Structure 1
């Protein structure tokens, strides 16, 4: 090949694709025309089954690179290419290649993937052409004498000497997982049968090991002494300009991996081979070296620093100490000066040096024995909050907070770091700061002899014979006849890493939400009786809705944040009135939902209060509470509700003659929440602005409402069993039974709780809209004298209505009895 080229896909699809697209009669005819030997050979004819990208490109090429994602069939393509090279027309006929090199990251990778893998050479070969694996020679030998020898990329010198006709070389790559370099070829995927962690890995996310692997591989092979130039074709043994790293993903970062709802493999990113979104990161050591170099510090040692800096902003000109401090706080390392060299030491890597108590020096300015101290508990912080920028998502500024389990104070020590961190890293930092502060309460002061001059600031020491076995980090050293040491207690275990995934907020247009106020009777008894509920929905849902309230229309204050969309719909047909408290098995209506879903329940669940919903005209105080047992999906987002319990929880007084088509439906499943409303504001007009919580109050997406609420939860329920019984003297005895709003469902009590301060009723005798008589009674009985009744009936039919009186609300819902002449 004289010039490099890039091949394109083949023009034709595979034969299997072609046959699969044909009608059944063509497929049958194709199979019927095959002989027995042809049918046996068909599974091993790769040209028939292969996808276009799995076939070698046409032309006189020297190197062929397959670029594809996980599951693209790269291993199968490589194995079939090797077969095509070494096999002849018949099992013992020679092929165009006699010696093949199989080159992988490690010998184990070659054996487990390229040779014995599910798509490896042995699995792809027909029985009469299958090679034998000779483990001691690391070689495959075919029946026709062709061979394929395994090589590791870590032993390039082994490729010298043997003469090869062709080579199958795997890509390089390393997972971002603890000890990933132990087995760079393995991949953690819970959904795959080939999911493995590298040997001895604890499974923690670790981008640093991936970075170090790539630096080592690329740096080694770019060195001329490790990658000589061929005298035959004038190129290096391995052309690093054409080296490919597994894997760069075409999906845009950070939407991959953050959008886990779209891509099922997104959780694999944290510990996978992807370099997308990671190539821009820097090692902690390189960032520290750059800061030191810019400050003119040439004698520095960062060899023991271990960490990744995803992003770090220095917003103003400052000195090196101030620039290093956020990194030191976040990654937990110290800067100490030793022999004219500024050394940076990770706290988690410290090893405590044993110090015999007998070796301590007795000086006038130091105690003869170690002097222990403990800081006052009142000086300790029990709650720490850190603000930072979150990575692997759309870079929001977030906070993580840690608190000691025994901490009762509300005081918070807040800090901010201009660093790009994962949420797990931010949480680990706050927990570490809190733990360090508690552990470092304990200190020790002692004097070391000249023989222990190798111990200095940043080192750990452990006093032999100390029953606690505690390690102490040297914080301060005074040099004199001896070293006067001040140290604080330390525990390297608080630096263990954590990891977790991230998510991206959906991109949403600032569209209005749809709110409904519901002034309802008490449902559980735990509600604030006078406060209304609010149900909010939107399509798409903005994530949360904010409710702002004001008395005058100015100076709005946040009243409530609604985290979940309510299940709201509109009725598609009319629903006539029905008797409350009865199970109407044949009553039904259809509702179309804006979002959400409904489900059917059994009869015991229904009678226990399940599937409670509200039906109304959209005004705050016109809602009937009802239940349904059966919900059937009859069209997209459209449900047929059957087996109804109407007028529940005292809302029977609000049932109209018919709920017309277009009435509102709200599922009372806990998503509609009560707003905050002072008791003194009941009945007063208030202003509300409701919209997406992530938008400002003055955004056009907010809608303005004005409403007042009577506080239906305080309103006494309508009495029942209102009856008139004739007496001997011609009078009528009017009786009724009161109902309770609170704790009225228990069967054990002799009577239901009163629920009001006193028992009181308002009884009216009405004719048309006129009030003929009005009385206040303290018992559920009244005698309608014969002379009064005769006088009232002269004007026509009269109505008797009775309502229980609440000291806070006034007369409640009314029961009505009609009397004729």
Structure 2
């Protein structure tokens, strides 16, 4: 208030100069009555993030701390494009992705290793060293023999610095899709020392501080002069300085064995204190701003700033908040501020004492006793004079406090799940009646056991083993798993209410739902078990990601021949559209696919199951035999059509082939004895022809295949005569 008043008065009387003089006077009055409002010690940043400002200091990291760092080198964004589709039935789509390469300075002293990395508040690198997005990271520890990074050297050439003495991390081709296609705000968990923090290291070797233990401090970020850090730490960890040697010696206060002082010595001269008695006593006035709280970085909350208050009644005036850029646990922080507040309140009694005995072992920090005076005293200062050594003594009060329970508070807990490996199943599905019926419907279902999975790059495996890119899978996971039981044989005509199969889903968070007959008619709950396509009406969760499926429709989509061939451990894929459709033009006829995700050291490969089912006609059904009076045989059957699954209005389904044609054979379907081509679902054979065939192959059977535009159907065995 005096600052504002005297500034206004000074401006009215003497203009701008008078206002300046009034402001200085007002600040002096305010400081005397109110106290300084400046905060003590280094300031805490609210989790400082990476910057690239010139002149920004790079902190010296001690112990383990979280810091933002400074970007010291970067390239322009790199753009990559992926084309999906070829415009033939599927629109051509071009997807763009961006990445960047850059380097971030972490510490202006060497470090041991790099821990976690946060990007825009989310984990970019886990504790195991795994990146959550695409790209690579290299860490340079900042040693004296550090070599230039090869990526920076390729950009800078012969002028590339090695940044010796500076620990830094280099990100190469970091994918930026999750961060708005920009370099995110980064912060790093830096491990500079595995052991306890050394006060001598904090002071840069200028002092001998090995006698001061900083066991409670897990880390410290030093950005300014070491003396500022010493001044701040001295309020929490009592220490004394002695400059008598070649270096400033720092030792913990009150740790020495008490030394008794002799009777006080008299002195001559009026300029001496208490020349007649050799001693004086005084009591310091209470501090206008007492220690009230401590702000620090809390490792339990991922190094978010925390604050602990000293226990007891709130003192008068404005409590001082001490800010320390150190990593502390909540209980340690509260114990430190409680002890510091107690020392400040109770340690105001001082004595001046003149001792005629010269003891070189006595110095700042020594503990002494006085004749006929109870208690212990700490030597805060001393000076040698002709009449003796004049000591400045401070009464020692119990400053340490017992452990105090403290809570770090609620903070964001980011899960650090290891990047899951990629699970893939490749298969071909029957044509659904839409689009080009001549194109294979190849799909790849990719998934993982955790939602952290960020997708994978998909490739076609060429005959020589080379990989040809098919694009990215995206992050959507297919609901997939493994059967725990063999699926029993069943009929493809009616609901199979007897068969049951348990499925262990990849992720317990996956869920399967039951469906009504109406929903089944519209194609819901289609799944691939092994190579058979089934539909399930009931899905009962059993816990732990295990689901029991029952009330099944078997052999869907022309896979009725696979209802007898099942075993435990088969792959399960829910056909709900999550599978990635592969453009057959880009596939090039290869029968194997590969996927590579962030956590896949080697490509995950798989052959395409049910290859050819998209273009293969369905096997005819309902075979019938009629024997005429003259002994001739007439077989008839009912055709089916690709892509026509619903029988509406009781009319024939469309053929979906260029012509209707069949191939009738006798004997082994793979090596028939005789074969006939017919253009209608009927075949006639005379008795004499039948007799000749019976002599050639007595155990032979008649069969029929439908001839399609691209393939032949599976054989249908005709009734025996």
Which structure is higher in strand share?
2
- TM-score per shorter chain, which class? 0.3 to 0.5
Give the structure-2-normalised TM-score. Answer: 0.45
Q: Which has the higher helix share?
A: 1
TM-score of the aligned structures, taking structure 1 as reference length: 0.40
Give the number of the structure with larger relative contact order, counting CA–CA contacts within 8 Å between residues 6 or more apart.
2
